[in-house]
Structure 1
Amino acid sequence: MLEELELTDLGPIPHATIQPSAGMTAITGETGAGKSMLLNAVKLICGGQADSSRVHPGSIRAWAQGIFVANDGAAAWQAAKEAGVEDDDGELYLSRTVPAQGRSRAVLNGKTVPRTVLARISEDLITVHGQADQLRIASPARQREFLDDFANNTEQRIAYEQAWRAYHAAVQRLERLRTQEADMIQRADYLRESIARINQADPQPGQLNELKAHRSRIENAAQIEHGVSMAMAALDGAPEEGVEGTINMLGHAAAALRNIHVGGVFDELANRLNSTVAELDDIRFTLAQQLPDEHDAADLDELNARIHELNELVQRWGPTLDDVIAWRDQAMLDLEDMDASPEKQAELEKQRDKALKHAMTAARALHDTRVNAAQALSVNVTKELDSLAMPGAELDVQVRERATLDANGLDDVEFLFRPFPDSPPLPMGKSASGGELSRLMLAMELTSASTHMQQHAKGEPAMTFIFDEVDAGVGGKAAMELGRRLAILARSAQVIVVTHLPQVAAWASKQFVVTKGDGPGGIETTVRQVEGNERLKEIARMLSGSSTKTSHAHAQELLAECVL
């Protein structure tokens, strides 16, 4: 449930705070006053696209925040915890900052997150129904999405999508084998020759660098021998010349300190000298191993030949020897797929048929959910149409099974609408006037919202539904009934409706008015809650365009009538 919506410097609104009712809240105001900015704020905190052109003139940034209440076990909290956010008394703070220049910033409970995180969390908290759906719903794809959403068949759709991808991959492998056989044979010959060439050389990881280092030692053997010999002479000394080496001299120094027999600092220094002697002795041993082997020079030609052989591999399949080995290993896998033998083709056909069988099973499970949902949707929407002063109007949701699969299953989904009993059922958008289509959309949205509400976990705060002026083209008795239907929905869910109809606004528990006027920065929009006499005046204005004695009395009568 949305506890509070706050925004600053968004469009013409310098600042606004709305604390909607837990039931039904109406947002009203004259056309062009800026009601759409409240919806833009909601879309921002729900991870929508940021538009810097909507920053209030003269401001450096726009900001919006929504505070939602959700139980700890709710799906929204699970997503929040995955993003590293801990429970804060059951409240989720979703906010967006949109600078006049630069990138927007999404924040969840004080933690900066990708805007996709806000989108993921908000889908479990709030649903927005707007006029744009009237155009989108005419497309078969959107109708299928609407039906799937109503069916709540996410599990079946995911299972089918996985099966479809596996089947599609199997088909592609088989098609490549059949249609590209000549190219594959040529490619396979190249891979076989290349693999044989590399295997003959038998390269090992890191081998080329090791060989080059070894060759460098052989080529510099004289310098190495001279340097190592000089270093070892300095450590060992030259007994034949009576020269004492460093190791022996340090040993004598350590012995001299111990002969003091006082201990303390002298023994400590003697120990340090002994440690140095041990380290130097290890160095001397290592140096002795570095003296060139007299056989190395004889192996130089063989060594150069091996380096030349490996360099040729690197030049063709490099840039490093490890890349050559990786290329060879991948080529061996590719070669298996290029096996165009009858046995290989039969194997791929078997894999394809198995994947198709699995995909068909998943598609029929998905089909069953759609058929059941189509029947329920048709019945429920038709009932809603009757309550919206369209007796005899009917929605018929058709789910026709095809012989072949595609990425969405086996089904062609079509919404057929009959606006009056004698009318033939025709596709949506071709069989209804603007007003009829508006009421049809309302019936569908109310049915969808009721279903989402029923699916919502018991004991959780109410789901939030926002209806954005979807009452366009509706009036009179239908408008009154629409308001009543929204009020009934608001018994179990939070409903926020942006409306220009007094018959709808009068059913709300709370009403906010958006007005435009002069401000310090020019034309500005304010949002305020109206109660008591102020609300009466607003309802009267909505009824007649001004607050007169007659419209005032009519408004009182309307508010008194709009009680469940």
Structure 2
Amino acid sequence: MLASVHIENIALIKNIDISFGGGFNVLTGETGAGKSIIIDALSLLCGARSDREIIRSGEDNALVEGVFTELGKETLALLAEQDIYPDEDGLLLLQRRLSADGRTVARIGTRQVPASKLREAASVLIAIHGQQDTQILADEQKQLILLDNFAQNSALIDIYRSEYNKYTALLEKRRSLRSTEDEKSFRLDMINYRLAEIEKARLSADEEDKLNAERTMLSNSERIITHTNEVYDSLYRNQNSAADRISAAINSLRQLSGIIPEADSLIERLTEAKYELDDISEQIQPYTEQDGENPLKRLDAVEERLEQINSLKRKYKSDVEGILNEYNRLTEEKDNIEYASELLEQLEEQIKEQTAVLNESADALNKSRSVAAAELIKKARETLVFLDMPSVEFDVEFTKKDFGNNGNTEVSLLISANIGEAPKPIAKIASGGELSRVMLALKNISSRGENPVMIFDEIDTGISGKTSDKIGIKLSETAKVGGCQVICVTHSAQIAARADTHLLISKEEADGRTTTRINELFGDERVNEISRIIGGVTITDTVRKTAEEMLSKQAQQTINTSY
């Protein structure tokens, strides 16, 4: 759920903190108080295109932050696919900052991210639906996603996509093999040239590291010989060296064996030290003299070899391991070109077999969609009839198409709102009020597992009070049954009365500036606001009593549904 939102310097808002409750939340207030500003701020949080004109006059930047909590397993899994995780307390922070110079900075948790990444994460967490937001209604791809979500087809889709990826990989391989003979000849010449070039270089995986180490040694050969001789002389070669002194000390202690109690243990320790000294001397000795080859001549050879390797690395834009991998890839491609006819026959058979497998997977997905569509049609019609569209006809049309990432059928939701009219694509419904109800109906019956937070902006526009009450019922139902948090901006008393949390948006003047403020309403405060929505400026006793009855009725229904 969206636990809280912090907004700074956006339009009329100077600085406000909004705490949302679980379940059904409403925001009400007079026209111009700032309800739409809050929706704009939430849209920015979701990665919408920014406009510096939204920054409060006189300020340099604006900020909106949202804290999400109680994220479900499915939501956490979808976020994990984007490498996004809540903190140790289970909180996930989304933040967007706008500057007056047009720059924008987005953050998820403590990590700065591109706006596209913020938008991708927000799409998992929150969905905003305005009265004119018909995106889901106009986009058949989104309609298919809605149907699959309703049908709980995620496992079938994963299976299909796995087979589809195998299918497209085979098609791509065939396309590559079917290149023209001229292209094959040109490509083969280029491949042979590169293979010969890499073969001539005689690369090995560890050669470069060995050459770099040898170059370091050769570059310091004089220092190495000088200092290792000093060490070898001191430890072993000179008269009165450390080795000689230790040997003399051991002989002296042997004269005291049996006389002083520590003599034998000291002899043993010095003997071990002598062995260690001899071993060190033996290791240092090879560095004390120059090999037969002149080190400067050998250094030139090493440098030349390293430059040859680096030249290939620059050309192939890769390290030695990558060049060797490219050699293997080119060898395979050469074999493919030389044996294209034979491979094509094998490939055609593989494609035929994979097409059969893909058809089976697509058929299983289509069958599930067809069964779900029948149930969706039934539930959508029931919900729309409840929402005062008694003559509605709802249908789902399937159209066969070529295999794609989502199957081999397209889906179009069709509707007729009036008797005698044939169902048409859902986006062509003329009435805004009907669009709102269709969108709510679809969200109501398919919201489970979709977005944990759903925001509806003035969904009551253009509908009657009776229908508004029913919309309120469905919004509340979407929150309770659908298992998501619903936030609704409304001018309807019927909808507002059914909310679990009621927030009032108002504006006040201070120091010559207008500022938006927000308060959660309880008791009489809520009665007063419902009365204002019903009666406007003049609130009579009758209006107030109506408001009290609406809230009392809703409270009683809430108690009844909790048992």
Report TM bin, short chain: 0.7 to 0.9
Q: Pick from 254, 266, 283 the counterpart of residue 249 of structure 2.
A: 254
Offset of residue 420 of structure 1:
0.6
Q: What pairs with 1:373-412 in structure 2 (closer than 5 Å)?
A: 373-402=372-401, 404-412=402-410
Q: Is the 8 A contact 2:476 2:498 kept in 1?
A: yes
Q: Indicate the residue corresponding to 1:506 in structure 2.
A: 497
What's the offset of the Cα at 1:422?
0.7
The reply on whether 1:483 has 2:472 as its aligned counterpart is yes
Structure 2 counterpart of 1:334, one-letter code: E
In the TM superposition, what is the alpha-carbon distance from 1:154 to its structure 2 partner? 1.6
Aligned to 1:15: 16
Alpha-carbon spacing, 1:477–1:306, altered in 2? closer, same or farther (3 Å): closer
Deviations 1:143-184 (A, max 9, x none): 222222322212222222222222112111101111244323
3-state SS of 2:441 partner: helix
Deviation readout 1:268-287 (Å, 9 max, x if unpaired) = 79956973685266425652
Report the 3-state secondary structure (helix = DSSP H, G, I; strand = E; otherwise coil) of the residue aligned with 2:174: helix
Matched, 1:545 2:536: yes
Aligned to 1:459: none
Counterpart contact for 1:157–1:366, Cα < 8 Å:
yes
The equivalent residue for 2:105 is 103
Q: Is the alpha carbon distance of 1:76 and 1:202 closer, same or farther for their aligned partners in structure 2, counting shifts above 3 Å?
A: closer
Equivalent-residue separation in structure 2 for 1:381 and 1:316 (angstroms): 65
Deviations 1:261-315, CA, capped at 9 Å, x for gaps? 5787999799569736852664256525875566x68xx99x9999989976875
Per-residue displacement from partner, 1:18-62 (whole Å, max 9, x unpaired)? 353x554322112332223444566677x6469595666658763
Aligned amino acid, residue 528 of structure 1: N
The residue that corresponds to 2:172 in the other structure is: 172
Equivalent residue for 1:358?
357
Corresponding letter in the other structure for 2:498? W
2:17 aligned counterpart, secondary structure: strand
Of 508-517 and 200-209, more deviation after overlay is shown by 200-209
- What is the DSSP-based 3-state SS (H/G/I as helix, E as strand, rest coil) of the residue aligned with 2:413? strand
| SS of aligned partner of 1:338 | helix
CA distance in 1, matches of 2:7, 2:517: 11
In structure 2, C-alpha distance between the alignment counterparts of 1:217 and 1:200, rounded to whole Å:
27
- The TM-score, its normalising length taken from structure 1, stands at 0.76
User: Cα gap change, 1:542/1:354 in structure 2, threshold over 3 Å: closer, same or farther?
Assistant: same
Structure 1's unaligned 5+ residue stretches are 238-242, 457-461
Q: 1:518 to 1:260 in 2, by over 3 A?
A: farther
1:356-394 Cα offsets, whole Å, 9 max, x none, are 222222222222222222222222222222122221122
| Matched residue, 2:142 | 142
In structure 2, do the counterparts of structure 1 residues 253 and 100 end up closer, same or farther at CA, with 3 Å as the change threshold?
farther
CA RMSD of aligned residues (A): 4.8
Residues 1:126 and 1:8: Cα distance change in structure 2 (over 3 Å): closer
Q: Is the 8 A contact 1:201 1:309 kept in 2?
A: no
Distance (whole Å) between structure 1 residues aligned to residue 157 and residue 490 of structure 2: 36
CA contact (8 A) 2:504 2:518 kept: yes
CA distance in 1, matches of 2:224, 2:122: 71
Change (3 A) 1:474 1:222: closer
Work out the CA distance in 2 between the residues paired with 1:558 and 1:233: 104
Aligned to 1:62: 63
What CA deviation, in whole Å up to 9, does each residue of 1:47-86 have, x standing for no partner?
6469595666658763544464468xx4456678996767
Q: Does residue 529 of the first structure (1) align with residue 520 of the second (2)?
A: yes
Closer/same/farther in 2, CA of residues 266 and 442 from structure 1, 3 Å limit: same
Q: Distance in 2 between matches of 1:64 and 1:227?
A: 64
Task: Give yes or no for contact 1:150–1:373 (8 Å, CA) kept in 2.
Answer: yes
Tell me what 1:240 maps to.
Answer: none
Return the letter of the residue paired with 1:186. F
Whole-Å separation in 1 of the counterparts to 2:276 and 2:491? 94
Amino acid aligned to 2:441: A
How many angstroms does 1:410 deviate by?
A: 0.9
> What 5-or-longer segments of structure 2 have no aligned partner?
558-563
How is 1:150-169 mapped onto 2 (pairs within 5 angstroms)? 150-169=150-169
CA contact (8 A) 2:236 2:244 kept: no
CA contact (8 A) 2:188 2:337 kept: yes
Q: Tell me by how many angstroms 1:96 deviates.
A: 3.6
**Residue 155 of structure 1: SS of its match in structure 2?**
helix
**Which secondary structure does the structure 2 equivalent of 1:163 belong to?**
helix
Aligned pairs (5 A) from 1:371-520: 371-402=370-401, 404-449=402-447, 452=448, 465-489=454-478, 491-492=480-481, 493=483, 494-519=485-510
Q: Distance in 2 between matches of 1:523 and 1:272?
A: 90
- The letter for the 2-side match of 1:445 is K
Task: Summarize the Cα distance change of 1:447–1:304 in structure 2 as closer, same or farther, 3 Å threshold.
Answer: closer
| Separation in 2, partners of 1:173, 1:390 | 53
Deviation at 1:229, TM superposition (A): 8.1
SS in 2 for 1:548: coil
Q: State the Cα distance separating 1:411 from its structure 2 match.
A: 0.8
Rounded Cα–Cα distance in structure 1 between residues aligned with 2:530 and 2:218 = 99
SS in 2 for 1:179: coil
Q: Per the alignment, in what secondary structure is the counterpart of residue 388 of structure 2?
A: coil
- Once the two structures are superposed, residues 327-377 of structure 1 have per-residue CA deviations (whole angstroms, 9 ceiling, x without a partner) of 423322332333443211112222222332222222222222222222222
Q: State the Cα distance separating 1:553 from its structure 2 match.
A: 5.2
Report the counterpart of residue 244 of structure 1 in structure 2: 239
TM-score, scaled to structure 2: 0.76
- AA aligned opposite 2:241: T
Look up the equivalent residue of 1:9 and give its one-letter code: E
Code of the residue aligned with 2:163 in structure 1: it is A
Alignment correspondent of 2:561: none
For the structure 1 residues 270 and 427, does the alpha-carbon distance in structure 2 shift closer, same or farther, using more than 3 Å as the test? Answer: closer
Q: How far apart are the structure 2 equivalents of 1:373 and 1:490?
A: 22
For 2:327 and 2:204, the matched residues in 1 are separated by 12
Gap change, CA 1:56 and 1:5, over 3 Å in 2: farther
Contact 2:224 2:287 in 1 (8 A): no
Amino acid across the alignment from 2:434 = E
Please tell me whether the aligned partners of residues 63 and 97 of structure 2 are also in contact (alpha carbons under 8 angstroms): yes
**CA 1:228 to 1:478, structure 2 compared with 1: closer, same or farther past 3 Å?**
closer
Partner amino acid, structure 2, of 1:513: L
Q: Distance in 2 between matches of 1:306 and 1:524?
A: 74
